Structure 1
């Protein structure tokens, strides 16, 4: 399935009139397609975006079956442009290739512009919403903290799931990548539901109410499991430390039980600064 990852937002450069330059970025998960186009300050609207996407579609060898975007604040403009073109749109933080590309441009491209502006202070972090309880369809009978070598994160034969190219990260093959394995006799149905959520990353929250949180879509949060003992706290800390050493790469696996190697679902994840 062909997927495009899209961002339409202002960048840290100014035009000749001192106004912020907006930019459209579109790429595929393997970055075989990379499209960048500046937008005049007075044309930041759905009509301009639609025209650019229409031009891109006319030259694309493999039109997208899905377009992912992560900026919730741009949903209205992006949705109008894509709907007019009949392009299926998915709000998702599974825009890993796009995130890596934006970071590259922030390091290597924008600072070379004569009207580059140093980024200001980051916005004050808002309190995150309390994670929701998982739907019954996503409840497993058991789960476990597990690990794999980065070199073993090959394309697993599964009915559901998704991976992404790790080569730009330069991870050593022996790097330990942490993950969560969810076990259920309904593994296939659970994996199908999980696929529809667009899983982005898992985080251990060691705050006042410790627990494992699954982040999906653009801002959805789900409580995988609460933690009430020291052993669980230690496991959560170990997960976050291993995740940091692996450049925040981790995974979720879904299978019937710990003794069965066949996976119903496998998602490679990464917590990114979007």
Structure 2
């Protein structure tokens, strides 16, 4: 059984502030795993697999913050300080004093309207920036009549100047509607813009801000829908260079998943990990994490191509007997198909339920064959609902 909530110790403000943890994003569901339903990957190797009906048929893929001052150093008492810290109209400008500014080379960013009206009755826009560990946190409100690439470029420069950190090498963002403005601002500053839904720290922080900041703002509009909703397009055919030869539903103990992720850099393997401490995921080491294993005789080139796609998640489409791969901001592929039957439908359902039981955690592994000792690509993935703003 897994629980998923934001780790409140990672959240900071420009003044000491307490935050409520985010409620579970995916209600934990306890389901039994049957060894007959999945491959069970060996905790140390990938060669001890138990075949199931789907995989036996060799299904192919389709063609600088100052130190906190004491109460005696402040010009206001603790009650006044708490009131200021709890002000939903205040902005955040924070850099962890223990973090080397030069080590923060990638930012995550959202630049969008909020369900908040200003004195003109117009929606307020907000820039929210953080890094993957939340060592950097920055927010700034804007009126809706200054939203352009120049405003954004100047704001990014201000973050660098105000906090004494260099501009990043990359900035990830997840709204396709803002791609033109963000791309132009980034390129003028020599920053690589990366359209990606792998902005997990940012997405969870936005959900936390919705509950603790936006809903308490005096201009909050109850029931307001997001102005720039996330795209969820119809899945396309998989490009030829991403096609493997065989695949299978698999499961791997959580302890082994952690070992695999930690060894990515050591083995120079392709893939991506998640900050599980930040996400507040609590899973027993023996809990089996669901995943998809893909085998290919050209595993390394396949993993290399996959590594440049900003892989977000995998889901089983029960109605169409297929797997759907989400990458980047709004790209979805039919990643694999299987022959629909009672058995395969139950297997796919169990795989999806397993994801829910793990708080949406799952993985993708690419191997030379399904009996390989290890993998050449490993991506730890997480299903997250779209942010409420």
User: Does the TM-score normalized on the shorter chain lie above 0.5?
Assistant: yes
- 1:167 matched to 2:274? The reply is no
Question: Which residue matches 2:148?
Answer: 45
Q: Is the 8 A contact 2:271 2:379 kept in 1?
A: yes
- 1:146 matched to 2:250? The reply is yes
Instruction: Please give the residue correspondences for 1:43-122 in structure 2 after superposition, counting only pairs within 5 Å.
Output: 43-58=146-161, 59=163, 61=165, 63-120=167-224
Instruction: Please give the residue correspondences for 1:172-251 in structure 2 after superposition, counting only pairs within 5 Å.
Output: 172-174=282-284, 175-207=287-319, 209-230=320-341, 231-251=343-363
Deviations 1:55-93 (A, max 9, x none): 223345454221111100111111111111111011111
Q: 1:47 to 1:169 in 2, by over 3 A?
A: same
Q: Is the 8 A contact 1:20 1:41 kept in 2?
A: yes
Higher normalized contact order (CA 8 Å, seq sep 6+, divided by chain length)? 2
- 1:20 matched to 2:123? The reply is yes
What secondary structure sits across from 2:126 in the alignment?
Answer: strand
Q: 1:157 to 1:234 in 2, by over 3 A?
A: same
1:261 deviation in Å? 3.2
Number of residues of Structure 1 aligned to a counterpart in Structure 2: 272
1:20 deviation in Å? 0.9
More strand by share: 1
TM-score (norm 1): 0.91
> Unaligned 5+ residue runs, structure 2?
1-103
1:10 deviation in Å? 0.7
State how far apart, in whole Å, the 2-side matches of 1:20 and 1:128 are: 25
State how far apart, in whole Å, the 2-side matches of 1:172 and 1:84 are: 42
State how far apart, in whole Å, the 2-side matches of 1:185 and 1:156 are: 25
Q: Is the 8 A contact 1:30 1:164 kept in 2?
A: no
Deviations 1:144-178 (A, max 9, x none): 11123344432342321111112244333224321
TM-score (norm 2): 0.65
Greater Rg by CA:
2
Question: Which residue matches 1:263?
Answer: 375
What secondary structure sits across from 1:64 in the alignment?
Answer: coil
